A and B are shown apart, each in its own frame.
Chain A
């Protein structure tokens, strides 16, 4: 789950990291009020889960409160990478002397949290890593001790020469690591971390991605979830315990297991079709999950055929078959179903389907080919 900038900066502030004043608003009038309170030049920033907000016109400077209101009118409701801007952050425009980058990620290679800094801030860090890797400095943190004071200082010395700035930066780096741990993050970034001409180091932007597996034990973080920023079908799927991602094709897919679900999408493509979604019904086979899955897939008007690919292990074929039959009893499904069932309780599952006038295939390639052909016919 990703947090908005205004939510992430609040967590940084609570941890004692210097962030500029400012507030979030969802109407141009409220933006004007905040700008009046702040006085002077302000920046109005779109709050969406997308990078490149500046390039898309979602970040604007304003000299007066009236101008801030005008910018807010333009930015609120605009679309950035398919996401509608519902809120903007209004903050004072800072005088900037230098821009750096500070971040913490879970690194697959060292299997640890890695703290990264770069004196090249304010730009896409992946680009810095690709073009000038020597300008990125890293420390892999030993989780038993946390980020040590001298490690934070060492990183801060890569950003600044002036000891006063180094100490401020080291403090921010240490606190950022603490927020990383306490929020259950998989990624946290300040980009840019700026120094002002007066010699203050501040976090001008904040990005925080939380490990979904942490949310169960972090209710305060879970409460920050912004449902309006997510695809409604993906929200419903998550609440039903399904893993679902909408795609652009016309073959709806319902599979058990993430690896098999990906391989099924790939096979749809291999036979000349296009998958409409990724959907993993997960390991346990509650028939209700199958009902919800079908409901979510059929909501997508592009879908011309639905393909079930079930290899029973923990998931039992009879449970899936019962789910399909229940779904058909509840709602009329207008697109053809192609069902592949094999594995645990296969015979029972096929019998349940046959009693309802449905048939099932046992081979994955046969099923995918058939679903692709049916989707083409209907399109």
Chain B
């Protein structure tokens, strides 16, 4: 199983000829992901690495290859349009790696996809990997290992840190997914928790949150009511001052809301094992498995 992607995922890369797009397409192909097409307007008819056909539009790419997922590496100014184009081509899953999308663009994207029942992961995220099966995005495959812990996170490199800690302690992962650090995102914590709870190859869940918003608090309520598998969690930004945006557009404490203390308390109340620091993940997971 694993969640959202597996060996049957057939992927189109939007922006396959760009600097980041081409580098990570090679990495995904090397990992074994089925990259069936690329899209770059004006480069239709070319081949990426002599084997992956490049199309001008998503509609052509999906029509010709039967792709069911897309990953986006196009610049921020074009990224919202790229998501909508992928949605119109009717892929089931869209992963947007691009960061810096204007939040008002996202208010248009979300209802467009919701009407078509399409899953978006991101934007401003590292994507996801189901070790041994498929990788969509930029998570370095070398730090992952096959196993039975599911991981969901709002950040990129902090996700790598945790995966690295797990892997070096002999704990593998079913799926690792970065949902992104923006205020408006597609797939949220609850969507991932629901999927991990339903996945018979996942035994425990790690949730990496951060300051800003109330998604972690809502996720904690969801865990208390619906998740029977053990969950451990971390909140980044315990020392962040209020009112300052800590890099991620979504990581800002406004008024008294969205603090790390408030979120950690919500985790504790829901029976989630709270990590004081990243390295605690190993001990907490081992205690619960």
Contacts and interface: CB of A to CB of B under 8 A. Distances in A.
A184 interface: yes
A261 B246 contact: yes
Contacts of A312: 140
A245 B251 CA distance: 13
Nearest to A271: B277
B183 A108 contact: yes
A283 to B, nearest CB: 7
A313 B103 contact: no
Interface in A212-262: 212-214, 216-217, 243, 245, 247, 255-262
B139 A263 contact: no
A101 interface: no
A364 to B, nearest CB: 6
A82 B102 CA distance: 30
Given A108-B184, A214-B104, A262-B246, A126 B160 contact: no
A118 interface: no
A288 interface: no
B183 A311 contact: no
Given A109-B214, A364-B279, A211 B103 contact: yes
A259 B155 contact: yes
B210 to A, nearest CB: 6
Interface string A259-283: 1111101111110000100101001
A143 B246 contact: no
A243 B275 CA distance: 26
Contact of A181 (B104, B208, B238): B104
Interface stretch (B8-16, B56-64, B106-114): B106-114
A365 B100 CA distance: 31
Given A217-B77, A343-B160, A259 B240 contact: no
A212 B100 CA distance: 8
Interface residues of B, number: 58
Nearest to B76: A213
Interface in A335-379: 342-344, 364-365
B240 A313 contact: no
Interface string B89-110: 0000000000111111011101
A245 B143 CA distance: 30
Interface in B213-247: 213-215, 234, 236-241, 244, 246-247
B276 interface: yes
B125 to A, nearest CB: 11
Contacts of A270: 276-277
Nearest to B112: A144
Nearest to A245: B244
B271 interface: no
A339 to B, nearest CB: 16
- Top 3 nearest A-B pairs (CB, nearest first) are A259-B155, A258-B247, A257-B157
5 contacts: A108-B215, A126-B255, A184-B102, A260-B156, A313-B140
Given A111-B107, A265-B237, 9 more contacts: A106-B103, A106-B104, A109-B214, A213-B102, A257-B158, A258-B181, A263-B236, A311-B160, A365-B277
